[in-house]
Structure 1
Amino acid sequence: MEIKRKGEQTVVQDPEQYFTGKVTIIGQFSREAPSRVTGAIVHFEPGARTAWHTHPLGQTLIVTEGVGWTQVEDEEKLEFHAGDIMLCPADKKHWHGATPHEAMTHVAIQETLDGKNVTWMEKVTDEEYLGAGGAK
């Protein structure tokens, strides 16, 4: 058994390349092969969000605090709350983050495929973030 103590975990603040707004990533982890599981705890301040991205084998988000939004490209934007679990589909372009007025924290769990667990794309614009979503 291995325990990654809270005080020893890496904390990453505001990685601008992949996020908009104030974001804190805590406790990034990856399991040794043959496992493919990776994850982290991600906290989004109000208005913060990911860039558009995909996961080759999908992603599971366990929302531990607050209220957030998520959207798959060309689909309706959805709201989620603390206690919700989101199952992001494999290879679907999407984003997620806090709402404009409330912070949100989730545990993100995904698997790697051929050494990659995410493909980052362009940032979500304010118009996309604040809009209703759906067909373009």
Structure 2
Amino acid sequence: MKVATGEHVHNRIVFKQLLQADALDVVQIDAARVGGVPENLAILLLSAKFGVPVGPHAGGVGLCEPVQHLSMFDYVALTGTTEDRVIECVDHLHDHFLDPVVIREGHYTAPTAPGFSAAMRPESLARYTYPGGEFWAADLGKQKKGRAA
């Protein structure tokens, strides 16, 4: 059984220490937590140097889409393989984006438009923007009603 860890690691320094200690089998980088594309690329480079595959992690609707594109850098510029590589894919989250990530038969498909595919549909923003979105307004209304009772 392989050990994947790192979703709570904040920078390349800690990943380097984990890699040097041979403490993990899969680097589970959280693309948003490590602070941007340059830090992600540094961790991907370190992982390639140590020969450890990367399985990126991201939480929340706005983070799952862009993190999948970072996996492409690993394939195109570093390893040239999908062996032992995984990406998190939550299909229903794609519905909220104008140009969502495409997964076909379990494989990431390179984008046809520039950018990170992070532009969201206006109707999703109207519904889920906190605290004024329709979803939150209804939820906050229920909470207020419960407190008044």
TM-score scaled by length of structure 2: 0.27
> Which protein is richer in helix relative to its size?
2
Task: State the TM-score, normalizing by the size of structure 1.
Answer: 0.28
Q: Which has the higher strand share?
A: 1
Larger Rg: 2
